[in-house]
Amino acid sequence: MEIRIHPISGVASDSRPVLITPPPDKSILHRILLIGSLTQSAIRIPISGIYSISHDVIATVLALESLGVPVEIFDDHIELHGVGRKGYRAPTHVINCANSGTTARLLMGVLAGQSFGSALSGDVSLSARPMRRVATLLEALGANVITGPEGTLPIMINGRRLHGASLSLPVASAQMKSAVLLAGLFAEGITAVREPSQSRDHTERMLASFGYDIEIDDEIRLNPVTNPSIVDEIVYEVPGDASSAAFLVVAAILLRRRITLLGVGLNPTRTRFLDVLAVMGVEMEAQNVLDSFGEPRGDLTVFADQIEGALLPLELSDEDIPLLIDELPILFILAMFSEGVSEIRGAGELRKKESDRIAVSVEQLRRFGVEVMEYEDGLSIVGILERRLQPCTIIHDGDHRLAMAFSIAALFCTTEVELDEAEAVCVSYPDFFEHLRALCGRKHVETIEP
């Protein structure tokens, strides 16, 4: 699919809010599917439409189907029937995790303690991403994982009896932490895990809300599972994805349009992005806040129409990074249009995402005519206050978050530009271009039919 972006000529602030329902939170959806599959419950997950479901989540659904878990996506909900911790069936083929790192790494944890062997593969991008560090953590619990020579997919997991252990993560990573905790559900003894700084905590919250014995402090301790509580039927409402919504929020800020995100997740390990916006000078307000299964959500209005003058530059370092790792690509775009020099350091993990997000962003920002300095662990960006970028060929390396970030930036090129392989956005946000149209007007985002 090709998208042609037509330039926005002038920006006039608009206080009528654009209402957006973000896609369901991808991190939470993966987890409710995996953790739910290990219960004995029928779980109904309401969704706002089949196109709100990301391709990454579909990879987890298909993986569960190959493990014998009844799961189906309908127009308005997903239905899952938990089979219990011992109820998976040995897969008859290699499980393809497509582009989804969360599917691969969380499944590694779940599969390590099974009584059968399994194999995981992925697409070209996922097959270049590190899996050995997850394998090493699981091996400390007694697992047997064989990775490719580069420590990557495809991998073999020979299910084994697992034992508890006390582990320290080499980097703050929710995927690594979750792989260990999910393996811990099958271990004899206590599984404890520490991370160098806080990463998103959906796994811990979900395990606690499902009645597992988990203590959350500087260290997370999962006590051995004895009798998990059995609930016949659960309706699990997944909040909107704050990381996907971040892209629309930045678009709204650049367009000076007020935006309201309906039912967006407000878990504090996901809202550092909002704190950063507040420091830059953006005002916002959350209403109708409620908590369900330990996950807060609400309707968040960002008063982008009230921004006067230029935004302050960004300054991000080590501790911030794990809490806004997926929002960094769109923060680069905001930094481009902010005052002074923004500096983002401590973000080396970005090089290990769906693409090398530092290298590709540096190259693309330079194509837009922006002055950028590249470091091993980040970049600095010299803001340009007049929103006029050089038209150019957009490169995004098939990376969904870069495709979204650069298409928002492209609205401010001096003439139209084209985005190839725009379907990459479906990995996390299939409705992205529709939602962008709601914000900037249909004529600025044209789909070119082949």
Residues that bind ligand S3P (CB under 6 A): 27, 102, 173-176, 178, 199-200, 322, 325-326, 349
What is the nearest approach in angstroms of ligand S3P to the Cβ of residue 226?
27
Return the amino acid letter for 203: T
CB-based contacts of 122, cutoff 8 Å, min separation 6: 96, 97, 98, 99, 100, 104, 129, 153, 154
CA nearest neighbour of 45 among 64, 25, 65: 25
> What number of other Cβ atoms are within 10 A of residue 393's Cβ?
10
Active-site positions?
Answer: 326
- Give the CA dihedral 206, 208, 211, 214, nearest 10 degrees: 130
CB of 127 or CB of 301, closer to ligand S3P: 127
CB of 220 or CB of 413, closer to ligand S3P: 220
Q: Can you list the positions of beta strands (E) in 87-186?
A: 95-96, 117-121, 144-146, 155-158, 162-168
DSSP code per residue over 202-250: HHHHHHHHTT--EEESSSEEEPPP-S----SEEE-PPPB-HHHHHHHHH
Cα separation, 378 vs 320, whole angstroms: 13
Token pair for 175: 């995927």
CB of 78 or CB of 255, closer to ligand S3P: 78
Cα dihedral sign for 117, 135, 39, 239? negative
CA nearest neighbour of 21 among 408, 318, 298, 212: 298
Question: Kind of pairing, strands 162-168 and 214-216?
Answer: unpaired
